[in-house]
Amino acid sequence: MFAEIFIFFLLTIVFLLYYWCKYTYSYWLRHGIPQSKPIPFIGNMKKTITFKRNFGLHASDIYNEPEMADKPVVGVYIFNQPALIIRDLDLIKSILIKDFNYFSNRYGNCDPHRDALGSYNLFFARDAFWKEMRVKISPVFTSGKIKQMYPLIRQIGCELEDFLARRGDTFTANLKDICSLFTTDSIATIAFGINANSLKNPNGEFRRHTQSFFSFNLWRSIEFSVVFFLPKLVNIFKATMFSKEFTKFLRSAINDTLDERDRKGYERNDLIDILVKLRKEAAEGKHSFTDNDFLVAQAAVFLTAGFETSSSTMAFSLYELAKQPDIQEKLRKEIHEALLECNGNLTYEKINSLQYLNMVLEETLRLYPILPFLDRQFKAPNDEKHKIKLENYNYTLRNGIPVYIPIYALQRDPKYWKNPESFDPERFSAENKKLQHPMTYLPFGTGPHNCIGMRIGLLQSKVGLVHLLKNHHVAACKQTPKEAKLKDMGVILQFESGVNLLVKRDNMYDKIPLK
C-alpha cells in the first residue's frame, strides 16, 4: 500500500513538473512570438551558466539563428522568466528613447543591505532614486569638468611613457596589463584623489583591489550572473557587485580623502570636489542622499565606467593596429602632426579633434563593445499594460518583463555593416557616419540611460594611445592570436588571457617631449 501511494505521489509530481515546464516554456508561442528553443528549468541560459559563452555573445548567437533572420523580436527564457531579445531597430529606439519612461530600469539589481555600493551605484539605481542621483552626479561628467581633469590624466600619460622607456627598446608584453596599469592610475587620481602609482608598483594596494573586481573567477562570475539575471535571488545567493573587502577599501580611501579636503579646503578639479559639495548639501538638508555610502558609490561609478572600458578599448585597439600596420602608421602620423602643432602638449580641444584617432576608437568599440548587451525591464505605471508595436504582432507586454538589446550582434550584422568582421576605421569617416542607422551602433547605449562615463572613458583611451604610440610601434608576435579569444566568464568583453604584442621603440616623436 505504501509503495502504491509513493508511486502515485511520484507520478503526480512528475506530471505537475511536466505540465509546469510545458506551460512555462510555451509563453511566447502562446502569444504568437517566435522563440529560441529553451531547456526545462534553465531556459536559454545553458551556455551562460556553464561558462561556455558570455551572455552577450550567447544573445548574439540567438540573434543570428537562421529562422530568426526576419523577426523583429525573439522570445527567450532567463531560467523561467520570459524575456525578449530585440532585433527591430525602431523598437530599440522606442525602448531606449521614445518610451524610456516604461524602460528606465535595468533588470539586474543589487541588495541594498549587503551591497550598498552596488545598490547606490548609478548603473543599478532605479526609478526616482536613479533620476535624482543622475541629476546630482551629472556635473562631474560635463565637458567643462572633464576638461579640468584632463591635465591629471595627461600626467599619467607621461608616467606611461616613462614606464615604457624602462622596459627597453624592444620587448614583448601583455598590453592589456599595461593599459590596466595606466587606467588604474588615471581613475585613482581623478575619482579618488590619490596617487596609486601602479605604473611604478604594479602590486600596489589600489591596483590589487581594482584587479580583483574585474577578475572573473568562478565565484565572481556566479555573483555577476545572479545580479544580472536572477535579481530576485540576490539575497539567497548573497551575491554582491562589491565584495566586503573591496567595499571596506573604497570607504576608507574616499572618506580619508573627503576628510582631508574638508580640513584643508582646497580643490583639485576632480570627483572629490563634487562629493565634498554633496556631503555639505546633505548636512544642510538640501537632498536625501545622507548615507555616506552614496558618496563612496559615486567613486565606484567612475571605477566601473572608466577602468575596464578604457583599458580594454585600448588593448583591443592596439591588437587591431598591430595586425594592420598601415592603419597604425596613419594614426601615428596624425598624432605626430598634432604634437608638432601644439609644441608637444596636446590640449583638451586638440586631442578630441583628432579625427582618425576617433575613427579608430569607434571602430574598435564596434567590433568589441565592452558591455555587449543592454538590459531593460518593462515597468508601466499603475501596472497598466503596454502594447509592443510590431508588424503582424499584437503582443501586450507584461509588467516586469526584461528586454535585451544585443549590441555585439547589431554591430556585426552584415545587414548594416559591409564586411563586418574586418577592422576598418573608414566606416566612421564623417561621410560614412551619415549612412549609419544610429541604433546599429550602441557601445555606450543611448537615450537618458546612456553611459554617463562615456566622455571620460574615451578621453582616457585617447590619452593612453597617444602616449603609447608617440614613440612606440606595436606588432604581432608568436603569442599574438590571429583572432581575438574572448573570455566566456563574466558579462563584459575581455581578452581570455590578455594580448601579447611586440613593442618597439623608434623615438619617432622623441624630439617633442610631452610634459
Which residues belong to the annotated binding site for heme?
A: 451
Q: Which amino acid is at 167?
A: R
Q: Which amino acid is at 401?
A: I
- 460 with 180: CB under 8 angstroms? no
CA distances for 121 relative to 109, 346, 456, angstroms: 10, 33, 17
Interstrand relation of 402-405 and 374-377 (parallel, antiparallel or unpaired) = antiparallel
State the Cα–Cα distance between residues 226 and 244, nearest whole angstrom. Answer: 17
State the Cα–Cα distance between residues 74 and 24, nearest whole angstrom. Answer: 16
Radius of gyration in angstroms for the set of CA atoms belonging to the chain, rounded to a whole number: 24
State the Cα–Cα distance between residues 268 and 27, nearest whole angstrom. Answer: 55
- 311 with 215: CB under 8 angstroms? no
Q: Who contacts 79 (Cβ-Cβ below 8 Å, separation ≥6)? A: 41, 42, 43, 45, 229, 230
- Residue 392: left if φ>0, alpha if ψ -120 to 50, beta else—which one? left
Q: Cβ–Cβ contacts within 10 Å for residue 151, how many? A: 11
In three-state secondary structure terms, 471 is: coil
State the binding site: 451
- 375 with 108: CB under 8 angstroms? yes
